[in-house]
Amino acid sequence: MEDKLTHLYTSNQRYWYDLPPNLRRTVEDRAQQISHDELELEIERRLKGFKERADFQGVHSCVSSSLDVPDDQGARLVVLGPAYSHKAGQMDSKAIGAAEEILNNRGSSPRLYRNMLAFVAPYRDYLQSLEQETRRYLAWKSVVDDTEALNLDAYQRRQASESLKRSDETVDLRVKEAYCWLLMPTQDGTNPLEGEATRISGGTESHIVKAAKRMRTTEQLILKAP
């Protein structure tokens, strides 16, 4: 009910009306003003914030060029940006196109160690919920940043802070849910490389850890003895 009324307040299961509109209306208005570029930048920031490498020699998130991915004998995971999504059976997806570009080239030179790369891409059907929650997070963040300008009282400040924290955690969960496509090059003998797309859904681990686990299970990522 609170989401529908702009003058209804709640705290500890108590409800009351007041003259100023509650913060949810302010957040809704601000969320609508956030551009798609701002959404992508925030999602990319979070993707780059995952610091684990799991069993990979390197993890490269949201690269701007194929030059950003080394061409060597180390197994590397490339995490594609939110603009490059994939869907089951869609072999001409933006994710496939971006992966092929990085797989075949490093800058203007042909890539030599193409079979050392794997890619993780977002599921197109999950992007909407990720973007929606990211938009909500950025709106709450702007409210917290503008606490003084908005002349928020103590209750409103607490509400904004708690809502920002919840939204922040939810966005992280949505990122892990959305980034569930593992794209890998496969080769049978001397035949040309082909692409293979596998879902790595479930669990609370990062897309990096889930990709490494799946590739170990299928022996596409073999650990060297120490």
Q: Is the pLDDT of residue 3 over 80?
A: no
Work out the number of other CB atoms within 10 angstroms of the CB of residue 10: 13
3-state secondary structure of 165: helix
Q: What is the C-alpha separation between 179 and 208, in angstroms, rounded? A: 9
Residues 55-83 have pLDDT tens digits of: 999 999 999 999 999 999 999 999 999 99
pLDDT class for 193, splitting at 50, 70, 90? low
Mean of pLDDT values over 77-97: 94
Measured N-to-C along each axis, helices 36-49 and 124-145 cross at an angle, to the nearest 10 degrees, of 100
Instruction: Enter the tokens of residue 11.
Output: 């705290």
Q: Concatenate the DSSP letters of all residues of 189-214 into one string.
A: TTSPPEEEEEE---SSS-HHHHHHHH
CA separation (Å) from 41 to 35, 49, 117, 131, 138?
A: 10, 12, 24, 11, 11
pLDDT at 131 over 60: yes
Least confident of 40-49, 75-84, 195-204: 195-204
Mean pLDDT of the 31-50 span: 97
